[in-house]
Amino acid sequence: MELEVKDINPNPEIKTKNNLMKNMKKQKTLILMSIPFVIYTFIFNYTPLVGWLMAFQKFKPAKSLFNQTWCGLDQFKILFSDPNFIKVIRNTLCMSLINLTLGFICSIGFALLLNEVRLMLAKKFVQTISYLPHFLSWIIVTGIVADVLSPETGIINQILVGLHIISQPINFFADTKYFWGIVGLTNVWKEVGWGSIIYLAAITSINPDLYEAAEIDGAGRFKKMLHVTLPGIKSTIFILLIMNIGNIVNAGFEVQYLLGNGLVQDVSQTIDIFVLKYGISLNNYSLATAAGIFKSVISVTLIYIANRFAKSAGEERLF
């Protein structure tokens, strides 16, 4: 005769809490190790958010933060009524989308191709050379780009003139139609090697038996990349995509500031440059803070939307 064992905790919430406590006990060492980093993050990332109060004040540096004249949403009204700010939002979004698209395609493609290199020495050499630009300062990178694209001594103009593609050198930094492309390609050259490291690490976790099975079925290198490697790193691609979508309003500051000039300022100025030019440089810290809050709200919203979309599609997500 079999006895039926009844669950003494039929409430699913109680089960969830019990499982949570068990997992916390198992991972107590990791939790204790993470405490200093949590404290560090709270002090240096969340405590400064008190400064957001400046966006709702007519902030004067000589006074205490809590002894200022309050102005409500006036700074935000000034911000969104300024045609220059609307223009820099357009520039920021367009350059971010270019960087995001080129960065993802090139990093994934480079990782797939590098994974097919059989000579380990050659593979490590190419990988090392490709991610070294990541450690270069933007000042050095923009200097190299300016020299390469120079109308007098730039190698690009010399090649184009030598091949009779153009009759005279092009001043790439004097025409607005080239600027976004220059920024996108510069970001790719600097970051593609570094970005491919994560995908290469994800590729190494794919079961080798899948490649053997595909090879038995007659799949070549391209088909194995398409039907084995890409599906194997799909979760990594989605996680990184969600994180990068959250940074879509962070098109950058250094490259646009260093390569931009008066001739292309209509397409070169980003939100960060706007904050420096019309906020900090003019001692209008309230306006600069309002622009920063706008960026943060947009970033959080985009991450939430992207995460919800990934969840509805049944893919990996952040939370």
pLDDT tens across 199-233, in order? Answer: 999 999 899 999 999 988 888 888 999 999 999 99
For residues 34, 36, 39, 44, the Cα torsion angle rounded to the nearest 10 degrees is: -110
Does the residue 30 lie in any domain?
A: no
Does the residue 192 lie in any domain?
A: yes
Spatial neighbors of 176 by CB under 8 A, at least 6 apart, are: 263, 264, 266, 267
Look up the CATH number of the domain holding residue 86. Answer: 1.10.3720.10
One-letter identity of residue 63: K
For residues 294, 105, 94, 242, the Cα torsion angle rounded to the nearest 10 degrees is: -20
The pLDDT tens digits for 133-174 are 999 999 999 999 999 999 988 999 999 999 989 989 999 999
What are the φ/ψ torsions at residue 16 (nearest 5 degrees)?
-65, -45
| Max Cα–Cα distance, the chain, nearest Å | 97
Quote the tokens at residue 122: 């050659």
Task: Give the integer Cα–Cα distance in Å for 145 and 179.
Answer: 12
| Number of domain units in the chain | 1
Query: Mean pLDDT, to the nearest integer, of 301-307?
Result: 90
Q: Label residue 2 by pLDDT band (50, 70, 90).
A: very low
What is this structure's pTM?
0.84
**Local structure of 29: helix, strand or coil:** helix
**% residues pLDDT > 90 (the chain):** 55
Does the residue 23 lie in any domain?
A: no
Does the residue 180 lie in any domain?
A: yes
Does the residue 54 lie in any domain?
A: no
Task: Give the integer Cα–Cα distance in Å for 72 and 289.
Answer: 13
Structural domain that includes position 255: 76-312
**Local structure of 125: helix, strand or coil:** helix
Does the residue 95 lie in any domain?
A: yes
Query: Using alpha carbons only, what angle is made at residue 272 by residues 269 and 277, rounded to the nearest 5 degrees?
Result: 70
Q: Label residue 63 by pLDDT band (50, 70, 90).
A: confident
Strand partners, 57: 70
- The label of the residue with tokens 């003494």 reads 8
Burial of 102 (0-12, 13-18, 19+ CB in 10 A): middle
Does the residue 161 lie in any domain?
A: yes
Does the residue 37 lie in any domain?
A: no
Q: Tell whether the torsion through CA atoms of 174, 176, 181 and 182 is positive or negative.
A: positive
Size of the chain, expressed as the number of residues it contains:
319
Q: What letter does residue 87 receive in the DSSP assignment?
A: H
Quote the tokens at residue 155: 């190698």
Q: For residue 204, give Cα distances in angstroms to 5, 207, 232, 302.
A: 45, 8, 10, 31
